[in-house]
Structure 1
């Protein structure tokens, strides 16, 4: 049964600033900010959280179904995803708007300043999951990734009504969403993903405690950048997994999406949550060592060798039969 990935589909415009943003801030004048950063380079890549996760799942052999909204400028991007094993047959094409665009500048300390134009993403709420299931067959898991807020709420409600397991990944939308919407997106999720900052923000806005959240979701995965991944479930001790060490310069954009893809793929293979977190960590490291969120590859033997170095030969032997 397929994994359906709902979420943003966008083009990424990525720039690098050869200094630190914080060196440009004037203490006591942050209420009136007017800053300009001279960047070293500009590259354009395919992106969007939904498409990034689908790409990673496809590399791992799952044949994901991508659900999102795009503009008429999507043709080349569509061909790229299809060629890499992503089912784009349920993507909605807008007649009026361009595909969403993400613009991000990263400094030497890996701090980021970004802007996001939603564009065609605002039409994602026009997509329903039932016709998707009619086209591809029974759905095993729906990833509800960052997207148009109305679409996120709608997809979550459909999952409850139709009995689909779902992964809640509110991500960037936590910053503006109120507690009511966040509770709606999270309650009943089989999996919940946040980064460390979002973990605290979710608790603050919902008024829940960690225990309250774990009573409402099956598994809560918190990504912690260089500090790895923490996996929590009710009534069990947390599991901490290291970040696989990088061997090349790091571009952090898309690392979280790659980690989610690795975790979900491993769980779909039937592996436990600790092993899934390890797979996610390894895929994330591969993703951040290249510029662009869909430029990484996962050569089987190299991936397994690196995985064994980080987590041991027994762990690699358990993963190996599932890799394409």
Structure 2
């Protein structure tokens, strides 16, 4: 099954602060915060949620279609993505704005403070999925990941119009969306992706209970950090899959994107939900050990080994269709 990934494409500026943010925050002064963090390291990396997920899918040989808006400074990045199995035919190049920028500081507790400059991403609304999805190029699933909010709403509506299954991953944009917009983005989604905090924020924004969210989507996948992932469906008990233990943290940026790539690669090959979550956790552990969202190698033998060591002998068997004979 071919997957189209819509959303942000950006350059990441990743910094490391040798301390704890919490130690710098004075409770009695939170209304007047004025802080500057002296960082030890700066890494400039390729990023953006949609590009990160497409990169991960490309590592499984899936030729995902990347859909997003960039600036004229994207040429070198485009070559990189193509070399890693990503189809960039759905990328719009702005003549006026630069590619989006993500600036992030990570402390010793892996907490992050970030800012995002949208740049060319504000033109993502002008991308018409109906013009892209023609003939044999029609995808089996569209992932709507964080993007310009108007683009997210437009592309979700186009998926419904085209009767193309879609996955909702509102993520960071939940802070910018109102309740009606969030309900519109997730209703009817085959898959809904959140992390633990976003799950609570989504319920607050929509005014829905957990059961009402599950009634609106097919499957709700919530990443839980070091606790793993929870997969929920209406009428079924939650499935909790533990994370890969003992993973060294080099950089948490893009780890959730790697999980989504591994999970979607598995379900696109009709792997069971538990196995898909295990592959997602395995790829996330590899991404966690690399600095930058697209700095890891999708070594299928390595992933099969991680799954077997973490979840037991034979655990990679149901993933044979995505990992090949290596499992």
TM range (shorter): over 0.9
1:142-181 to structure 2, matched below 5 A, reads 142-181=142-181
What secondary structure sits across from 1:69 in the alignment?
A: strand
Distance 1:158 1:247 in 2: 40
1:1-324 to structure 2, matched below 5 A, reads 1-134=1-134, 137-323=137-323
Distance 1:321 1:165 in 2: 22
Distance 1:300 1:153 in 2: 35
Alpha-carbon shift at residue 295 of structure 1 (Å): 0.5
Distance 2:131 2:259 in 1: 29
TM-score (norm: length of structure 2): 0.97
Distance 1:71 1:128 in 2: 18
Distance 1:180 1:240 in 2: 30
Distance 2:249 2:234 in 1: 37
Alpha-carbon shift at residue 250 of structure 1 (Å): 3.3
The answer (yes or no) to whether the contact 2:247–2:285 under 8 Å persists in 1 is no
Distance 2:135 2:35 in 1: 49
The answer (yes or no) to whether the contact 1:246–1:289 under 8 Å persists in 2 is no
Across the two proteins, how many residue pairs are aligned to each other? 324
Describe the superposition over 1:34-60 as per-residue Cα deviations: whole angstroms up to 9, x where unpaired: 001000010100000000000000101
What secondary structure sits across from 2:42 in the alignment?
A: strand
Runs of 4+ in structure 1 over 4 Å off: none
Describe the superposition over 1:152-191 as per-residue Cα deviations: whole angstroms up to 9, x where unpaired: 0000000111101000000000112110110010000000
